[in-house]
């Protein structure tokens, strides 16, 4: 058995190493440091169809992530999906008539909300609703419409 | 026929006897744990022999498991054109399952057997009885520090295993196979959650597995038949029982946590 001092030092190093690994998992892998939901303001938007959108999906403007989706629910009075998103406090000069669209990254990739700035001078406030929205593209629907158009066109022959 | 029935009855009685003794033993160990506050040096020494000495095998296996995940995950994902998600696949599978489970199995083999053999031989050479003779409680002096040390060491080893595994996956995916550096991390960071994946997976599973392994190991050692054969049989049982317990508990924990 080695002497007590060496043992204590190596145990100290071991515990520090374990803690460092946990910290790395929390910071680098789970990305605790970059974006926490608290430091943003919340905005709502109604969509006919949210497709594969999920909580924590990105909210992007000009391709830059400026926030995250915090909640997705269904409004029974409007029969629409209501998406609550939290936008980073740093981006507080967004026009109130900004349009929200649901886009897909790549053909089958994950879905995100893309915001397109409007022209109004009034700025978006916490709790506001984005009125101009466009739903997610559902692949089956698009295919259905395409096939329907095909058959309608080919019928007169 | 009656012999068969009698044998069956004896076997099941033996089984229940060991089960009961194991749990009573656990209660007695837990009761002597608070006394360790006054002797932290005993625990430190055991953290050294269970944790620090398992470090090399944990680091090396973590690196290889991560690298294999990188290679296999890439082969599957590339057929869907989704190789950017490699970081996510590697991190989630390591954090939730492979990290805690594989390090627990290695820990049972590396540290659990050593615990059983050490305590078993102390019993076989009558050191434990000698202690009792000197009015030193062997549970407090020998068993409790080892039990606590394994519970401390196990989650730390699982965290190190997982962190090294993620780096191994990064090395294989980004370094060898040419996955984009940025999307490897960003996909991982977008989908891995602190509470759900890191705390649930590595920390809680690590602590539970550590407790189960050290309980089985010290009980088998303490309960061993005090002969060379008895100790070797107890060591074998430690590996078998703790591996089965880890895998079974992992199923239960996963069911509770992620559904």
Q: What tens digit of pLDDT does each residue of A38-55 get?
A: 578 888 899 888 887 877
- Check CB contact of A105 with chain B, cutoff 8 Å: no
For chain B, the residue count is: 259
Minimal C-alpha gap between A157 and chain B (Å): 40
Average pLDDT over residues A49-77: 84
Residue A139 φ then ψ, to 5°: -60, -40
CA atoms within 13 A on the CB side of A20: 7
Cβ atoms < 10 Å from Cβ of B133: 9
Residues β-bridged to residue A67: A59, A87
A26 and B198 within 8 Å at the Cβ level: the answer is yes
Q: What is the DSSP string of chain A?
A: ---HHHHHHHHHHHHHHHHHHHHHIIIIIS-TTT--GGGEEEEEEEES--TT--TT-EEEETTEEEEEEEEEEEETTTTEEEEEEEEETT----BTT-EEEEEESSSSS-EEEEEE--S-SSBP-TT-EE--EEPPPPHHHHHHHHHHHHHHHHTT-
B48 and A18 within 8 Å at the Cβ level: the answer is no
A30 and B193 within 8 Å at the Cβ level: the answer is yes
A29 and B82 within 8 Å at the Cβ level: the answer is no
User: Pick the residue with more confidence: A78 or B80?
Assistant: A78
Of B47, B163, B190, nearest to A25 by CB-CB distance is B163
Cα separation of A146 and A127, whole Å? 39
pLDDT-based confidence at residue B101 (cuts at 50, 70, 90):
very high
Give the pLDDT score at A36: 52
A19 and B156 within 8 Å at the Cβ level: the answer is yes
pLDDT-based confidence at residue A32 (cuts at 50, 70, 90):
low
Helical residues (DSSP H) of A4-90, grouped into ranges? 4-24
Cα separation of A96 and A44, whole Å? 12
∠ Cα B209 B210 B213 (to 5°): 80
Give the pLDDT score at B209: 94
How does the average pLDDT of chain B come out, rounded?
88
Give the pLDDT score at B105: 94
CA atoms within 13 A on the CB side of A152: 6
- State the residue for tokens 């296999």: B72
Whether B13 shows a pLDDT value over 60: the answer reads yes
- pTM of the complete model beyond 0.90: no
DSSP state for residue B139 in the 8-state scheme: I
Cα separation of A54 and A56, whole Å? 6
Residues β-bridged to residue A73: A82
List chain A residues with CB under 8 Å of B185.
28
Here the ipTM equals 0.71
> Three-class SS of residue A81?
strand
Per-residue model confidence as pLDDT tens digits over A97-120: 888 888 887 666 678 888 888 888
């Amino acid at each position: 058995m080695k002497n007590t001092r060496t043992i204590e030092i190596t145990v100290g190093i071991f515990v520090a190493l374990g803690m460092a690994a946990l910290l790395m998992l929390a910071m680098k892998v789970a990305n605790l440091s970059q974006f926490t939901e608290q430091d943003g303001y919340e905005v709502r938007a109604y969509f006919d169809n949210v497709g594969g959108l999920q909580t924590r999906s990105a909210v992007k403007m000009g391709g830059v992530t400026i926030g995250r989706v915090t909640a997705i629910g269904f409004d029974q009075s409007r029969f629409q999906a209501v998406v609550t998103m939290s936008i980073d406090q740093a981006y507080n000069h967004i026009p109130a008539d900004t349009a929200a669209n649901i886009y897909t990254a790549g053909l089958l990739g994950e879905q995100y909300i893309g915001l397109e700035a409007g022209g109004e001078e009034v700025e978006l406030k916490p709790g506001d609703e984005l009125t101009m929205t466009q739903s997610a593209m559902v692949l089956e629907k698009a295919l259905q419409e395409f096939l329907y158009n095909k058959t309608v066109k080919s019928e007169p022959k | 026929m009656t012999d068969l029935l009698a044998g069956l009855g004896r076997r099941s009685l033996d089984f229940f006897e060991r089960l009961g003794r194991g749990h009573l033993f656990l209660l007695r160990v837990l009761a002597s744990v608070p006394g360790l506050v006054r002797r932290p040096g005993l625990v430190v020494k055991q953290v050294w022999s269970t944790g620090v000495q398992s470090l090399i095998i944990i680091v090396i296996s973590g690196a290889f498991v991560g690298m294999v995940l990188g290679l296999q995950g890439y082969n599957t994902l590339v057929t869907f054109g989704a190789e950017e998600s490699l970081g996510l696949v590697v991190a989630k599978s390591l954090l939730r399952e492979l990290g805690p489970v594989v390090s627990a199995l290695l820990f049972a083999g590396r540290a659990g057997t050593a615990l059983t053999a050490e305590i078993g031989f102390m019993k076989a050479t009558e050191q434990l009885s000698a202690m009792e003779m000197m009015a030193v409680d062997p549970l407090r002096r020998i068993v409790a520090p080892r039990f606590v040390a394994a519970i401390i060491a196990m989650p730390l080893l699982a965290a190190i295993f997982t962190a090294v595994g993620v780096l191994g996956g990064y090395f294989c995916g980004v370094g060898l196979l040419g996955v984009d550096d940025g999307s490897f991390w960003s996909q991982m960071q977008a989908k891995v959650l602190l509470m759900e994946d890191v705390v649930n997976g590595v920390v809680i599973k690590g602590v539970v597995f550590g407790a189960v392994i050290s309980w089985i190991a010290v009980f088998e050692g303490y309960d061993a038949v005090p002969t060379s054969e008895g100790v070797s049989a107890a060591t074998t049982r430690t590996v078998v029982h703790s591996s089965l317990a880890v895998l079974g508990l992992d199923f239960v924990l996963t069911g509770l946590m992620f559904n």
